[in-house]
A and B are shown apart, each in its own frame.
Chain A
Amino acid sequence: NAGVTQTPKFRVLKTGQSMTLLCAQDMNHEYMYWYRQDPGMGLRLIHYSVGEGTTAKGEVPDGYNVSRLKKQNFLLGLESAAPSQTSVYFCASSLTGWTVSGALHFGNGTRLTVT
């Protein structure tokens, strides 16, 4: 099993450009999450999904959109990138709701720089 795979690993965007980050998991997990990590701020939840075809907003959703068309994939989109979106983005998945099944499995992260 590959676990949780994120692509790309690195990306540099100019302000106003758009891009999509892809997250794929092969563990048949129901729940998937997108976090951003900034120095001193921990991991902040952007959006999450509790199953195929569902999405919901997290703590910092503005400027991002997501889609979960297939159970194994969770896409994070930036329609018009801003320098404030410079961050490391982590995707994670869990078998069911985290209080039931526990561990979040994280991908290796995507380092995004917006100039």
Chain B
Amino acid sequence: GENVEQHPSTLSVQEGDSAVIKCTYSDSASNYFPWYKQELGKRPQLIIDIRSNVGEKKDQRIAVTLNKTAKHFSLHITETQPEDSAVYFCAAPEAGGSYIPTFGRGTSLIVHP
């Protein structure tokens, strides 16, 4: 949706490199920021999320950082592996406080061996 902008739309990296995907949202009242991974032909699955009372959260090779002032949050993947190749989606609430999730258009990450 237009309330949630995700960049880049495609990202190609070499195995072992880092990847960063950024999501910008419009509702300043947002307090929950998730990232989903969708492998080809599969369903989206939550991989990491963060709440607005913290600025960063890590889980092994993935991390999410949040900048509430600038209204954006980012997914960081370190030491990328071919199995990280997938489409990644961020989500944020619709503007106006509806608390219904709107997804970004997705980032296709390709990790070359």
Q: Do A and B interact?
A: yes
| Residues of A bordering B, CB below 8 Å | 33, 35, 40-45, 48, 58-59, 90, 97-99, 102-104, 106-109
When C-beta atoms are compared, the residue in chain A nearest to B108 turns out to be A40
The complex places the Cα of A103 from the Cα of B31 at a distance, in Å, of 14
Query: If the complex has contacts A42-B103, A59-B102, A102-B49, are A108 and B43 also in contact, measured as CB distance less than 8 A?
Result: yes
Q: Determine if B89 and A43 form an interchain contact, defined as CB atoms under 8 angstroms apart.
A: yes
Chain A residues within an 8 Å CB radius of B103: 35, 42-44
The complex places the Cα of A43 from the Cα of B90 at a distance, in Å, of 10
| Residue in contact with A98 in the complex, picked from B44, B89, B99, B104, CB distance below 8 Å | B99
* Total of A-B residue pairs, C-beta within 8 Å: 60
| Chain A nearest Cβ from B70, distance in angstroms | 20
Q: Determine if B45 and A98 form an interchain contact, defined as CB atoms under 8 angstroms apart.
A: no
CB contact list, B27-74 vs A, under 8 A: 30-32, 34, 36, 42-46, 49
The complex places the Cα of A85 from the Cα of B44 at a distance, in Å, of 20
Q: Determine if A102 and B44 form an interchain contact, defined as CB atoms under 8 angstroms apart.
A: no
| Residue in contact with A107 in the complex, picked from B32, B34, B43, B106, CB distance below 8 Å | B43
The complex places the Cα of A33 from the Cα of B103 at a distance, in Å, of 13
A-B contact pairs, 25 of them (CB 8 A): A33-B101, A40-B9, A40-B106, A41-B105, A42-B1, A43-B44, A43-B103, A45-B100, A45-B101, A45-B102, A58-B100, A59-B1, A59-B102, A90-B43, A90-B44, A97-B99, A98-B93, A99-B30, A102-B32, A102-B46, A102-B49, A103-B34, A103-B49, A104-B44, A104-B101
Query: If the complex has contacts A98-B99, A99-B32, are A40 and B105 also in contact, measured as CB distance less than 8 A?
Result: yes
The complex places the Cα of A48 from the Cα of B46 at a distance, in Å, of 19
The complex places the Cα of A58 from the Cα of B78 at a distance, in Å, of 35
Chain A residues within an 8 Å CB radius of B104: 42
The complex places the Cα of A47 from the Cα of B17 at a distance, in Å, of 39
Chain B residues within an 8 Å CB radius of A108: 42-43
The complex places the Cα of A99 from the Cα of B98 at a distance, in Å, of 10
Chain A residues within an 8 Å CB radius of B105: 40-42
CB contact list, B78-113 vs A, under 8 A: 89, 91, 93, 99-106
| Chain B nearest Cβ from A62, distance in angstroms | 16
